């Protein structure tokens, strides 16, 4: 019993990979690995989350009161963190190298230092803390106190609960939307979708979810302004329009849906179902969806995680094209793409009038040209468009770097970032060092962006997410 259950948990976290060519029917997943984990046999696991910085999978073993740190490169447990009784939710905060556990066994939020691999603090909550979500730009963690009918809000810079919101319903999974800059919470007893403004921590909206009963699980497609809900009481996957505040699609799921995840790289939604299946859906476009299959797994499964980095790579053609004669955005964007989006990226630099025709010929993604998705929009630059497109806005250091790049690439009237002048001067200097082509400039200049990114990370650690010079400017 122990072996089978623990292999299942491993399969959900990292042993199932998508079949890329199964878009219309047939099997969409296959098992690639399975391995054992510590702890008592036959006992339930709960949430999984991925630390992409360190390539760790964080696994909550609810019944054992333990949390496992698993190296995704070796499939080995590198640490077992104790003192997490009844651990359910788990959320990683990258800039602090910490993760937070929702401990239903003693009604606490555990603060785990990933460098020390141990609990360093506990914060008392009301009753049965469960799912959680991190609003990076606000440095706040939102934890659903499910049985306490509340949402606990943690200031992660102080590791203190700064506010608790109370509802007339048990609270399901929360999510932070980096595009709308809102936090959403399922009010599962009332079949209501609640909206919280993290700048004030006030509830600013409550919206019915239609035929969805018991809306517990939630995941987001921020780019297309969609939420996906798992409805526990009537086994439906509900697509919720975040602009119109109404459900638009209902599709059947396997019995007992719980955790649900969206994979933007493949435009798929996956839901772990207690009856022994992963329900798989495909997003044809933001308004049209279809069920692909119920992939059979072991009975009593609760959770899954999607590695967005690897799946995004598999979902794209890895060719990118922009204008020649690079300066700021067309060096910053390739650095960002190669480091965080597509490690196998190939870049093409062509005359401006040839970008779109060549993009069509090469089946490449155009960026930093007028009229494309990954270009300038209003006063925001192409670098910022890529941050939004690929869900990178949850990284505060990248947000700060985006503001610096914006200021160097534009007139700096959007963010007024002091560091932008220095980056602009450096970029201009690289154009006069005698490099033979745009590829050579990029190869030489990427170290500048590594340095700026390291600076941004340090500023976030010091509690200065706007940079060292903003207040003095």
Per-residue pLDDT of 279-303, as tens digits, reads: 999 998 899 999 999 999 888 888 8
pTM of the shown model:
0.71
Query: pLDDT grade, residue 172 (50/70/90)?
Result: very high
| pLDDT tens for each residue of 177-212 | 988 999 999 999 999 999 999 999 999 999 999 999
401: Cα separation from own chain's centroid: 18
Query: pLDDT grade, residue 247 (50/70/90)?
Result: very high
| pLDDT tens for each residue of 59-76 | 999 888 899 999 988 889
In which element (H, E) is residue 169 found?
Answer: none
**Residues shown for the chain:** 473
Return the pLDDT at 17.
54
pLDDT over threshold 60, residue 401:
yes
pLDDT over threshold 50, residue 304:
yes
First to last CA, the chain: 63
Query: pLDDT grade, residue 21 (50/70/90)?
Result: very low
3-state secondary structure 57-70: EEEEECCCCEEEEE
| b/e burial code for range 18-56 (CB count within 10 A of at least 16 → b) | beeebeeeeebbeeeebbebebeeeebbbbbbbbeeeeb
Closest-CA residue to 229 (of 250, 244, 243, 245): 250
pLDDT over threshold 70, residue 23:
no
Pairing of strands 171-177, 182-187: antiparallel
Q: Where are the domains of the chain?
A: 2-314, 319-461
Give dist(CA 326, CA 144) in Å, integer. Answer: 47
| pLDDT tens for each residue of 96-124 | 999 999 999 999 999 999 999 999 999 99
Return the pLDDT at 25.
45
271's CB contacts (< 8 A; 6+ apart) are 217, 230, 237, 253, 254, 257, 258, 259, 260, 261, 278, 279, 281, 304
**Contact by Cβ (8 Å): 278, 16:** yes
Give dist(CA 294, CA 275) in Å, integer. Answer: 10
Give dist(CA 447, CA 445) in Å, integer. Answer: 5
Residue the block writes with tokens 């556990």 = 101
Give dist(CA 279, CA 291) in Å, integer. Answer: 8
Give the residue-averaged pLDDT of 129-153.
94
Fold of 2-314: Methylamine Dehydrogenase; Chain H (2.130.10)
Using DSSP, state whether 455 is helix, strand or coil.
helix
Structure tokens belonging to residue 94: 């990258």
| pLDDT tens for each residue of 347-362 | 999 999 999 999 988 8
Give dist(CA 191, CA 138) in Å, integer. Answer: 27
Give dist(CA 100, CA 380) in Å, integer. Answer: 33
pLDDT over threshold 80, residue 26:
no
pLDDT over threshold 90, residue 405:
yes
Phi/psi class of residue 117: alpha, beta or left (left: φ > 0; alpha: ψ in -120 to 50)?
A: left
What average pLDDT does the structure give for the chain?
A: 89
Return the pLDDT at 1.
29
**Contact by Cβ (8 Å): 418, 406:** no
């Amino acid at each position: 019993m122990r072996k089978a259950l623990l292999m299942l948990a491993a399969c959900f976290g990292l042993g199932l990979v998508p079949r890329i060519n199964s878009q219309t029917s047939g099997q969409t997943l296959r098992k690639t690995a399975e391995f054992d984990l510590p702890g008592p046999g036959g006992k339930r696991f709960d949430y999984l989350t991925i630390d992409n910085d360190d390539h760790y999978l964080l696994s909550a073993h609810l019944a054992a009161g333990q949390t496992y740190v698993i190296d995704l490169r070796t499939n080995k447990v590198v640490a077992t963190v104790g003192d997490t009784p009844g651990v359910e939710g788990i959320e990683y905060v990258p800039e602090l190298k910490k993760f937070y556990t929702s401990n239903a066994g003693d009604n606490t939020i555990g603060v785990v230092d990933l460098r020390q691999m141990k609990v360093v603090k506990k914060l008392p909550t009301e009753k049965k803390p469960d799912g959680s979500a991190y609003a990076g730009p606000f440095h706040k963690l939102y934890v659903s106190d499910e049985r306490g009918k509340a949402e606990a809000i943690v200031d992660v810079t102080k590791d203190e609960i700064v506010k608790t919101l109370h509802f007339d319903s048990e609270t399901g999974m929360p999510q932070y939307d980096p595009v709308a800059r809102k936090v959403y919470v399922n009010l599962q007893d009332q079949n209501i979708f609640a909206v919280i403004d993290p700048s004030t921590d006030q509830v600013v909206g409550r919206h019915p979810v239609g035929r969805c009963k018991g809306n517990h699980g939630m995941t987001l497609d921020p780019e297309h302004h969609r939420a996906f809900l798992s409805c526990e009481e009537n086994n439906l996957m509900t697509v919720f329009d975040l602009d119109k505040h109404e459900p638009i699609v209902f599709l059947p799921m396997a019995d007992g849906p719980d955790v649900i995840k969206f994979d933007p790289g493949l435009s798929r939604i996956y839901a772990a179902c207690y009856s022994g299946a992963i329900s798989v859906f495909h997003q044809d476009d933001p308004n049209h969806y279809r069920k692909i299959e119920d992939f059979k797994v072991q009975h009593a499964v609760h959770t899954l995680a999607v590695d967005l980095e690897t799946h995004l790579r598999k979902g794209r053609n890895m060719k990118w094209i922009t204008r020649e004669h690079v300066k700021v955005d067309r060096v910053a964007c390739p650095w960002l793409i190669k480091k965080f989006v597509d490690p196998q990226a190939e870049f093409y630099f062509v005359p401006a009038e040839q970008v779109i025709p060549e993009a069509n010929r090469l089946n490449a993604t155009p960026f930093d040209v007028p009229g494309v998705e990954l270009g300038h929009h209003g006063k925001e630059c192409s670098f910022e468009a890529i941050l939004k497109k690929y869900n990178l806005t949850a990284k505060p250091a990248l947000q700060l770097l985006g503001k610096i790049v914006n200021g160097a690439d534009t007139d700096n009237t959007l963010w007024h970032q002091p560091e932008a002048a220095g980056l602009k001067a450096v970029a201009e200097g690289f154009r006069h060092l005698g490099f033979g082509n745009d590829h050579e400039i990029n190869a030489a200049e990427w170290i500048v962006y590594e340095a700026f990114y390291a600076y941004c990370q340090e500023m976030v650690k010091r509690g200065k997410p706007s940079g060292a010079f903003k207040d003095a400017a």
